[in-house]
Chain A
Amino acid sequence: MKRYLKIFTAGLISDNPLLMLMIGLCSALAVTNNMANGIGMGLAMTFVLLCSEVIISMFRKLIPNSIRIPIFIIVIAAFTTIVDLSMKAWTPALSEAMGVFIPLIVVNCIIMGRVEAFSSKEGVFACVIDSIGMGLGYTWVLLGIAAIRELLGDGKILGFQIMPDSYQPILFFTLPPGGFLVFALFISMNIWLKKLIDNAGARAGKSGKEAVA
């Protein structure tokens, strides 16, 4: 049980795919100029990650080592196509807003990285836990960045006016430079959080570490 808890929490802060491992950045920055896009991207990404990890984990003993990369890519591309077509059919506005970034999930390094490093070795249940943890780790960063950018750049959260009417929106934050700046501050914050957790863990002894994380 403890092992699964550790797998689950790794993706949230200490091995956060975006802030610590620096992978899968493209989609994370491009779609976060408002919260709705952030939620959509987070869900789409988590779905593809979960399905790909489970499928590859099931077949891990059958996949020959020398051609594993092409097989991984085909599995991931199949699920990305499913997400892309489903979003075009059911949420056309969201699909329009995110444009090319939904098909680009296929080359998202987070998925390839997790499939290669984790699900080609571990069992199905561990993979479910891992993909949900990584997916949540990805989604909370997206939502955090999107909330700041939408609030400061538009005065709204999820389309609802939050700031008083006299607030003059700072357009900078909805434009690309704002995305880079907010992301820089998020990395900085995460490094600080990780240090805090590590220190608390060191104080509480070895066993306390996972509980705090």
Chain B
Amino acid sequence: MNLVKIFLTALLIDNVVLMRFLALCSYVGMTADVGQSVGMGFAVTFVTVLATAATYPIYHLILVPLHIEFLQILVFIIVIAALVQLVEFYLKKNVPGLYTAMGIYLPLITTNCAILAVTFDNITKGYDFAEAVVYSVGVAVGYLISMVLLAGVRERTRTSPIPKFLQGTPILFAATSLLAVAFMGFAGLIK
């Protein structure tokens, strides 16, 4: 039950993009069409879960016993960067089909703040390993949902009459504002 609660909170109530303002760069940059946003969403989901699985044990088995928790930022970013690189090599060699679908998104993911934020959250919220993994899946799928939603809206805005002062990027954020209002409706979902 607790796991379901963590998942739903991460997915809808605290949606990573619309409620917590994370990963906005890729949210603006990678939503030109729905296909692209789905690709990016899945790539992020994959890496987020892997990053959680890698950084959580590193923090509790290496940093805490050695009392070097202050190196957390440095260690986590290096682990994630290395992880992304390894995933890229692995996919290129063994799963070329997936690599061509996901490959172009992978280098961008190192600097995706949602992933780093999830790994910090796992520690500060005091989750155990199972909770941390469920939380990271929830956040990442929440990211996927908001990406696809915006990509859908963007495809429509191309043919709609938009007030002149909102043309271009401003309309994206105005639309995002409305999406965020809609997501606020989920706030009462879990007591």
List residues of chain A with CB under 8 Å of any chain B CB.
22-27, 29-30, 69-70, 73-74, 77-78, 80-81, 84-85, 100, 103-104, 106-109, 112, 175-181, 183-185, 187-188, 191-192
Kindly state the separation between the CA atoms of A179 and B19 in the bound complex, as whole angstroms.
Answer: 10
Binary per-residue interface labels of chain B (40-67) against chain A in the complex, 1 for a CB within 8 Å, 0 otherwise: 0000000000000000000000000000
Given contact pairs A106-B116, A112-B111, A184-B177, a sample of 18 additional A-B residue pairs in the complex whose CB atoms are under 8 Å apart: A74-B74, A81-B70, A81-B73, A100-B117, A104-B117, A109-B111, A175-B180, A176-B180, A179-B21, A180-B176, A180-B177, A181-B174, A184-B171, A184-B174, A184-B176, A188-B170, A191-B168, A191-B170
Q: Are A178 and B177 in contact (CB under 8 A)?
A: yes
How many residues of B are in contact with the other chain, CB < 8 A?
42
When distances are taken between beta carbons in the complex, the residues of chain A under 8 Å from B110 are: 107
How far apart are B77's CB and chain A's nearest CB, in angstroms?
A: 5
Q: 10 shortest A-B CB distances, which residue pairs?
A: A184-B173, A180-B177, A25-B24, A30-B21, A177-B180, A181-B177, A188-B170, A184-B170, A77-B74, A29-B21
Kindly state the separation between the CA atoms of A28 and B29 in the bound complex, as whole angstroms.
Answer: 17
Instruction: Report the nearest A residue to B168, measured CB to CB.
Output: A191
Listed by A's residue number, 12 A-B pairs whose Cβ atoms lie within 8 Å are A26-B23, A26-B113, A29-B21, A30-B22, A73-B81, A74-B74, A108-B113, A176-B18, A176-B19, A176-B21, A178-B177, A184-B170
Q: Are B174 and A107 in contact (CB under 8 A)?
A: no
Q: For residues 155 through 191 of chain B, which have their beta carbon under 8 Å from a beta carbon of chain A?
A: 165-166, 168-174, 176-178, 180-181, 184
Kindly state the separation between the CA atoms of A84 and B76 in the bound complex, as whole angstroms.
Answer: 15
List residues of chain B with CB under 8 Å of any chain A CB.
18-25, 28-29, 70-74, 77-78, 81, 110-113, 116-117, 120-121, 124, 165-166, 168-174, 176-178, 180-181, 184
Instruction: Report the nearest A residue to B173, measured CB to CB.
Output: A184
When distances are taken between beta carbons in the complex, the residues of chain B under 8 Å from A109 are: 25, 111
How far apart are A79's CB and chain B's nearest CB, in angstroms?
A: 10
How far apart are A51's CB and chain B's nearest CB, in angstroms?
A: 15
How far apart are A30's CB and chain B's nearest CB, in angstroms?
A: 4
Q: Are A22 and B165 in contact (CB under 8 A)?
A: no
Q: Are B81 and A70 in contact (CB under 8 A)?
A: yes
Kindly state the separation between the CA atoms of A109 and B108 in the bound complex, as whole angstroms.
Answer: 11
Q: Are A187 and B113 in contact (CB under 8 A)?
A: no
When distances are taken between beta carbons in the complex, the residues of chain B under 8 Å from A177 are: 177-178, 180-181, 184
When distances are taken between beta carbons in the complex, the residues of chain B under 8 Å from A74 are: 74, 78
Q: Contact partner of B77 among A77, A179, A184, A185, CB < 8 A?
A: A77
Q: Are A26 and B22 in contact (CB under 8 A)?
A: yes
Kindly state the separation between the CA atoms of A103 and B22 in the bound complex, as whole angstroms.
Answer: 13
Instruction: Report the nearest B residue to A190, measured CB to CB.
Output: B170
Q: Are B73 and A103 in contact (CB under 8 A)?
A: yes
Q: Are A22 and B29 in contact (CB under 8 A)?
A: yes
Q: Are B180 and A70 in contact (CB under 8 A)?
A: no
Kindly state the separation between the CA atoms of A109 and B113 in the bound complex, as whole angstroms.
Answer: 9
Kindly state the separation between the CA atoms of A25 and B18 in the bound complex, as whole angstroms.
Answer: 13
How far apart are A11's CB and chain B's nearest CB, in angstroms?
A: 18
Kindly state the separation between the CA atoms of A191 and B165 in the bound complex, as whole angstroms.
Answer: 9
Known: A177-B180, A183-B173. A25 touches B165 (CB 8 A): no
Q: Are A22 and B73 in contact (CB under 8 A)?
A: no
**Most chain-A Cβ atoms within 10 A of its Cβ — which of B23, B77, B168?**
B77
How far apart are B80's CB and chain A's nearest CB, in angstroms?
A: 9
Q: Are B77 and A106 in contact (CB under 8 A)?
A: yes
Q: Are A104 and B116 in contact (CB under 8 A)?
A: yes
How far apart are B157's CB and chain A's nearest CB, in angstroms?
A: 13
Kindly state the separation between the CA atoms of A179 and B176 in the bound complex, as whole angstroms.
Answer: 10
When distances are taken between beta carbons in the complex, the residues of chain B under 8 Å from A100 are: 117, 120-121, 124
